[in-house]
Structure 1
Amino acid sequence: MIDIKKANQDLGAKTPEEIISWAVKNSSKPLVTTNFGYHEAVILHMVTQIKPDIHVIWIDSGYNTRETYLVAQKIIEDLKLNIKIYTPSMSTMRNDCVFGGIPELDDERHDLFTEQFKLEPFKRAMKEESPDVWFTAIRSEQTELRGKMEVFSTGINGVLKVAPLLHFKEEDMNAYLKKHNLENVKNYFDPTKGLANRECGLHSKL
């Protein structure tokens, strides 16, 4: 059993690579999640440099931009990702035709939409994969909630949630992308967030 408080004290200020290495050594079934949004190639490159065959989970809502799908495919091929894609039980076409598409943020249907198109597929993925370590690319400067988080915490189903990039700034992310010549999406859209500084639910509701 990992002592989360001690892990944060001992490793919270280490480099992302050191944090990832420690977590991989202390896990038997790690995974990393991605949305192939801004700067996502950073976490994917870092973890696969240390564990090339790590399971990569993508919750694809079906509402991604064309550029996101193209960039995602390039990253998958370049990094030879061991990826599994989870999709909502409801198709985007059915949601658009029957329920009017993506609800506005102030629409009471938005919580249900978020559950159907983000949270349920994620919970399904985590149940099927049953990881003991979950790497996430969240960073403290992204939202108010994330600014209060620590590198190590407890996630869904008791998994050890690890945020190696928590203290990375945007300039750090851009520098890493440039150094390693990695792809980065410019036109990204998350239908469950709507706004860049809003939570999608993975880190606030689960």
Structure 2
Amino acid sequence: MSQLHPNLDIDQANQDLQGKSPEQIVEWALTQAKNPIITTNFRPYESAILHLVAKQRPDITVLWVDSGYNTDATYQFANKLIRDLDLNVVTYIPKQTAAHRDATMNGIPGIDNPQHGEFTEQVKLEPFRRALDELKPDVWFNAIRKDQTEFRQGLDVLSLSKDGVLKVAPLFEKTDADLDVYLDEHNLPNEHDYFDPTKVEESRECGLHTQL
């Protein structure tokens, strides 16, 4: 049981939300929220989740942990979405600079390098923990989908973070094809020139949804 949501039966809630539309899931989740956030990394299809949630809660805090290793296209895509959707973005960055890591880790450690875990901690996990500690959300909207990784196939629309924050994935059952339709219907941009140095391979977890 979560201290933030003492009356929530998450298994029952997941059952109740089966077959509901993403819009209905967002609407339900907002009834559970006093201080919701949505997290983004401006990867492909992020415009869908940002549009979906922001149209119901325009002032929602949008948390972006910027590793500093995004492509030029990702930064341009982020700027466009922030402007077009009038997003209330709060950006967190690593405590160490990329130049410091270049000097101490010889750039981005490969996934087989013993330093890769420390790299992931520095550029993603520590800034995320710091953000959650300072923002103190009770509901966390995210864009994870069942078909993305093997680990995520064992999750559901709703889950709890280790701190009891209600994690909500309104697009959990959706595919790329479904989201292509959503983007087209709402005239939303997409950007596929994206790189996550903590995952490297698309099917890997970076630790964000396994450790937090």
User: The TM-score by the shorter chain falls in which range?
Assistant: over 0.9
- Counterpart of 2:36 (choices 6, 9, 30) is 30
144, 157, 170: which one aligns with 1:151: 157
SS in 2 for 1:124: helix
Corresponding residue for 2:55? 49
Listed as ranges, the matches of 1:191-202 within 5 Å are: 191-202=197-208
1:109 aligns with 2:115: yes
Q: Would you say the 8 A contact 1:39–1:184 is kept in 2?
A: yes
Q: Is the Cα–Cα contact under 8 Å of residues 105 and 115 in structure 2 kept in the other structure?
A: no
AA of the residue aligned to 2:172: L
How far 1:5 sits from its partner (Å)? 1.0
Deviation at 1:6, TM superposition (A): 1.2
Structure 1, residues 110-154: CA drift from partner, whole Å, max 9, x if none?
001001110000000000110010001000000001111111110
1:98 offset after TM fit, Å?
2.9
Q: Which residue of 2 aligns with 1:85?
A: 91
- Give the Cα separation in 1 of the matches to 2:125 and 2:50: 21
Asked if residue 15 in structure 1 is aligned to residue 21 in structure 2, the reply is yes
Matches of 1:136 and 1:181, distance apart in 2: 21
Q: How far apart are residue 91 of structure 1 and its match?
A: 0.7
TM-score under structure 1 length normalisation: 0.98
Secondary structure, aligned partner of 2:187: coil
Any conservation in 2 of the 1:43–1:165 contact (CA below 8 Å)?
A: yes
**CA–CA distance in structure 1, aligned partners of residues 71 and 109 of structure 2:** 17
Query: 1:62 is paired with a residue of what secondary structure?
Result: coil
Instruction: Give the residue type in structure 1 aligned to 2:21.
Output: T
Task: Give, in whole Å, the separation in 1 of the partners of 2:155 and 2:67.
Answer: 26
- Whether the 8 Å CA contact 1:136–1:161 is kept in 2: the answer is yes
2:27 alignment partner AA? S
Q: Are the counterparts in 2 of residues 12 and 150 from structure 1 also a CA contact under 8 Å?
A: no
Give distance in 1, aligned partners of 2:19 and 2:174.
11
Deviation at 1:104, TM superposition (A): 0.5
Percent same amino acid at aligned positions? 51
TM-score normalised by the chain length of structure 2: 0.95
Match of 2:210, SS state, is coil
Equivalent pair of 2:40/2:62 in contact (CA under 8 Å):
yes
Structure 1: gaps (5+ residues): none
For 1:21 and 1:103, the matched residues in 2 are separated by 41
- For 2:193, the aligned partner's letter is N
**Residue type of the partner of 2:195?**
F
Q: Which residue of 1 aligns with 2:66?
A: 60
